[in-house]
Chains A and B, each alone.
Chain A
Amino acid sequence: MSSFEPSTELIRLSAAALAAKLKAGEVSAVEVTQAHLDRIASVDGEINAFLHVNTNEALAVAAEVDGIRAAGGAAAEELHQLAGVPIAVKDLIVTIGQPTTAGSKILEGWRSPYDATVVRKLRAAKMPILGKTNLDEFAMGSSTEHSAYGPTRNPWDLERIPGGSGGGSAAAVAAFEAPLALGTDTGGSIRQPGAVTGTVGVKPTYGAVSRYGAIAMASSLDQIGPVSRTVLDSALLQEVIGGHDPYDSTSLTDPFDNLVAAARTGNVEGMRIGIIKELHGEGYQAGVENRFNESLELLKEAGAEIVEVSCPNFKYALGAYYLIMPSEVSSNLAKFDGVRYGMRVLPKDGPLTIERVMAATRAAGFGDEVKRRIILGTYALSAGYYDAYYGSAQKVRTLIQRDFAAAFAQADVLISPTAPTTAFKLGEKLNDPLAMYLNDVATIPANMAGVPGLSLPGGLADEDGLPVGIQLLAPAREDARVYRVGAVLESLLEEKWGGPLLAQAPVLDSNSTVAGGSL
């Protein structure tokens, strides 16, 4: 690798490496944070990963960490290992002191009077929050093109999408604007952007990370998780944000503190890794399929046993998902009505009643995709259709869980491509909702069953030179397994590539102006 300027080098370090340098006193938290703020200022005009940059507060937190370290003593000893390591937060997660828009016009200018539980945990660990990242409006989309604040671009190719809904978080990490980010994953919104940007993204077991303060899209599917450039970094971050939260009734009480150790295990010998017959092959891009097979070979060489499993009901997962998700969406988004917060729009003509104000506000405040899903969900729940739609979809959910149970009887971890294709072009699927939805076909089953899933870079597709994601799935509560296998596969692949995949990403033009919203 060529040499970089010091600040440039800092931004290329992993969170674990930054933490080590900070602890050793080789670099200050202010320097680390400033380096990332500089990088944001330099490249985000092109990427548009950030909707808001939190310069002052991030630097203040960094300075506090430096002060504690300089003073030494017990307080310095007690600092969290990631103290001073900056992070970006998906703008679906509420934060005191910064706007939270959910990527929607309807929340433009709104400031939350409370912090999400995960944000409280970041603050307790004294991790400077760099800002809020772009997303498809209310996390509905697979391309971040449905943001009301303009699309985010893929650092690998600015004409392509960074995935979605968490394209902002993935692109920020891929473009070295942040070493870590938080995402939310309802049907693949952490993992699919990870796949198409060459980064790591994890959807933990449902309930492993508190959802309190993540603006709900589909409550029974949503899960907050880490976005990073290495598997170990995601493990470190999940240990910060995870754990039981009395504010979330679906939060698990199980301890999830063995993830970093799992990522450091270093072997997969004797582990049974299951290929899901239904999640590769037909419908998957050739380059994706090739990289997938390559990963299988590497794991086999490392001593894993590769088995094939069948999950016959996965073919109904997408359909069931597009009934359950919009149903919950239609109810979760009802609160955005122009009464208590956010935008209010008055009807152009006719009587001024609250009913008409609500309808005008929601018409102006929501984008097309959001409206589509609200209407679809309203339909699926409405009298006479509930049993056929929502009720049936919940039954399919049971069948998917049974498929997983059977598969995990044969394999310790399941493996598949994360997404059927590499990053598509901006606008390519914008007018074809179904084609867009199909991009989540491999990620949705994990949300339906609540099991953990990790996506890591699997190399570049031969035909377009764009990143391919490999997905690892484990039984519920066994998040440690995806970290263990993920870290091993990551090191085998990096050995093969001679360094991290992102080292091969094109250098970004740094003459552009800062994206709107900073300060």
Chain B
Amino acid sequence: MSVDTILSFEEAMEKYDPVLGFEVHVELNTRTKMFSSAPNVFGDDPNTNVNEVDLGMPGVLPVVNKAAVESSIKIGLALNCKIAESCRFARKNYFYPDTPKNFQTSQYDEPIAYDGWLDVELEDGTVFRVEIERAHMEEDAGKLTHLGGQAGRIQGADYSLVDYNRAGVPLVEIVTKPIEGAGSRAPELAKAYVAAVREIVKNLGVSEARMERGNVRCDANVSLRPHGQERFGIRSETKNVNSLRAVEHAVRYEIQRHAAVLESGVPVTQETRHWHEDTRSTTAGREKSDADDYRYFPEPDLVPVVASREWVEELRATLPEPPAERRKRLKEAWGYSDLEFRDVVNAGVMDSIEETIAAGAAVGLTADAARKWWMGEIVGRAKAADVDPADLGVTPQAIVELNQLVVDGKINNKMASQVLDGVLAGEGAPAEIVEKRGLAMVSDDGPLLEAIDAALAAQPDVADKIRGGKVQAIGAIVGGVMKATRGQADAGRVRELILEKLGVQG
């Protein structure tokens, strides 16, 4: 395999403008497949979720899954698309062993949704509008495993094994119009766009949206044109870029590769590229030899889908608030700064904070308090455990209780951290843990005064300094008291008592 020459990204940007385009395939999470009643389940044993329809047995016929159509319409609406009054399925004909009928039932000239847009927010808050060309319904193919030769690679494999469990899983393919004007932010936009689509379908509840399982897959088109040129350059299509980071890297790589090709004076080849995560580069894919002529025609075994306006409006009424609008609303309601809010979003704890605030509404838990708990205590633990913060096992209710214990002066922050450990260890509710671990803060002044006397006696020179007006020396005495009470004293109260005892104004 030859290694392509690439230009540095900066050099590429000096001369060229990138034009992007994306085809994102979203696997729907319907219970059954697009055209058969076999279960749509990931990860089962090979060829256990298939019936005669999925295997393309002689004589079988497809029947459309209504839930899949409704999910597709919801996606269309969430992408601000028009929903076709009537649309049809079409056959896309090509031979490939993962395609049981040797045609894919898809949509061609009549997609269910078209002409939409999606506002994509970049990390610094810049909003970039991506125009959506269409979103259409189709079916997924089976899974090929290549064996022999270089393990897992199609090139050089001796044979392949086919599992048709995935064959017929409902897909919605979302196609953008050419995206111009992103400039050097193109790689970042690519990642943000795919993330936004993923967020939308997840928010709609129509897909598990797990990229590592292939629920959301991206084909990225990249072309370059010299600054000032109107006409688009020749594009490459990089297939199956299946993580957000990879989308960013692949677009960046292709921009650099195209620039090098153009610089060498050779026209770019219109081709399919494959992304390799290990080398962070693309290689030319051998075209499926029928790619030039899919011989689309209307699927005669299926009848048109007519989406009445009543049906569309019914579905629209079920849509959840769009993620971007929700973020805007929450940020304002919580009064976070731009930076604070972005950190919360990037840490993936926005939902948790919202739930925590709701759970603590009765006791007046503030948005800032909720943020401090999640960002200060939980995110770090989640990172250490390599799980999503929401999946760590801390409920909003537990946070509310914990916070209340601190507000009531029953424990201090340091103890709260220990209580949280107890919660994670499954020791029970925060109050129980405080009790079990004997963490209650020493609030009776009696034992504290004893400890203060002992500390002053142990460090008479320090006591003198304080008496002499050097109040900042008090730390040593407070420290002694805290040590003696194993941290269970309220440091503020200890300070007050020491000053009182020595007759010094704080």
Contact = CB atoms under 8 A, between A and B. Distances in A.
A379 B40 CA distance: 36
A331 B97 contact: no
Contact of B300 (A110, A219, A382): A219
Interface stretch (A10-18, A267-275, A335-343): A335-343
A335 B102 contact: yes
Nearest to A340: B55
A390 B97 CA distance: 27
Contact of B289 (A112, A337, A339, A355): A355
Interface string A232-248: 00000000000000111
B61 A211 contact: yes
A383 interface: yes
B297 A327 contact: yes
A398 to B, nearest CB: 14
Given A250-B301, A355-B95, A383 B59 contact: no
B302 A249 contact: yes
Contact of B61 (A248, A339, A382): A248
Interface string A377-390: 01001110010001
A323 B55 CA distance: 28
Nearest to A342: B58
Contact count band on B: 20 to 34
Contacts of B62: 249
B295 A214 contact: no
The secondary-structure label for the interface of chain B is loop
Given A334-B103, A381-B93, A215 B58 contact: yes
B103 A383 contact: no
B127 interface: no
A192 interface: no
A337 B64 CA distance: 25
Contact of A328 (B51, B58, B59, B300): B300
B297 A212 contact: no
A474 interface: no
Interface string A73-103: 0000000000000000000011000001010
B466 to A, nearest CB: 88
Contact of A340 (B56, B63, B91, B95): B56
A216 interface: yes
Interface in A213-238: 213-216, 218-220
B59 A212 contact: yes
B100 interface: yes
Interface string B287-307: 001001101110011110000
A330 B58 CA distance: 14
B56 A335 contact: yes
B489 to A, nearest CB: 74
B101 A334 contact: yes
Contacts of A337: 95, 97, 102
B60 interface: yes
Interface string A412-427: 0000000000000000
Interface in B432-460: none
Contacts of B91: 331
Interface string A278-290: 0000000000000
A114 B52 contact: yes
A216 B103 contact: no
A93 B58 CA distance: 9
A382 B290 CA distance: 11
B476 interface: no
B162 interface: yes
A381 B91 CA distance: 11
B295 A382 contact: yes
A249 B301 contact: yes
A358 interface: yes
Nearest to B53: A247
Contacts of B57: 94, 112-114, 340-341
B160 interface: yes
A53 interface: no
Interface string B459-483: 0000000000000000000000000
A116 interface: yes
Nearest to B294: A383
A249 B303 contact: yes
Given A214-B59, A335-B101, A390 B297 contact: yes
Interface residues of A, number: 44
A335 B91 CA distance: 13
Contacts of B58: 94, 100, 102, 107, 110, 112, 215, 335-336, 341
User: Which of B55, B93, B300 has the most C-beta atoms of chain A within 10 angstroms of its own C-beta?
Assistant: B300
Interface string B110-133: 000000000000000000000000
Contacts of A334: 93, 95, 101-103
A168 B102 CA distance: 30
A503 interface: no
Contacts of A355: 95, 289
A220 B299 CA distance: 9
Contact of B160 (A114, A247, A330, A354): A354
A383 to B, nearest CB: 5
Nearest to A327: B297
Contacts of B59: 93-94, 100, 112, 114, 116, 212-216
Contacts of A250: 300-301, 303
Given A112-B59, A327-B297, A337-B95, A249 B103 contact: no
Nearest to B95: A358
Contacts of A378: 295
Nearest to A213: B59
Nearest to A94: B59
A102 B59 CA distance: 10
A402 to B, nearest CB: 20
A197 to B, nearest CB: 26
Nearest to B158: A352
B300 A220 contact: yes
B162 A249 contact: no
A246 B35 CA distance: 12
Nearest to A212: B61
A251 B55 CA distance: 22
Nearest to A93: B59
A383 B293 CA distance: 6
B97 A354 contact: yes
Nearest to A210: B61
Contacts of A93: 59
Contacts of A110: 58
A381 B97 CA distance: 22
A185 B59 CA distance: 15
Nearest to A358: B95
Interface in A266-317: none
B100 A335 contact: yes
User: Which of B52, B162, B302 has the most C-beta atoms of chain A within 10 angstroms of its own C-beta?
Assistant: B52
Interface in A325-370: 327-328, 330-331, 334-337, 339-341, 354-355, 358
23 contacts: A100-B58, A112-B58, A114-B52, A114-B57, A211-B61, A212-B61, A213-B60, A214-B59, A215-B58, A218-B300, A246-B63, A250-B301, A327-B297, A335-B102, A336-B58, A340-B56, A340-B57, A378-B295, A381-B297, A383-B295, A386-B295, A386-B297, A390-B297
Given A112-B52, A250-B301, A328-B300, 18 more contacts: A94-B57, A107-B58, A112-B58, A212-B60, A212-B61, A220-B300, A247-B61, A249-B303, A330-B295, A331-B295, A335-B100, A337-B95, A339-B97, A340-B100, A378-B295, A381-B295, A382-B293, A383-B292
Interface of B: 51-52, 55-64, 91, 93, 95, 97, 100-103, 160, 162, 289, 292-293, 295-297, 300-303
Q: Which 5 A-B pairs have the closest CB atoms?
A: A334-B102, A381-B295, A219-B300, A220-B300, A213-B59
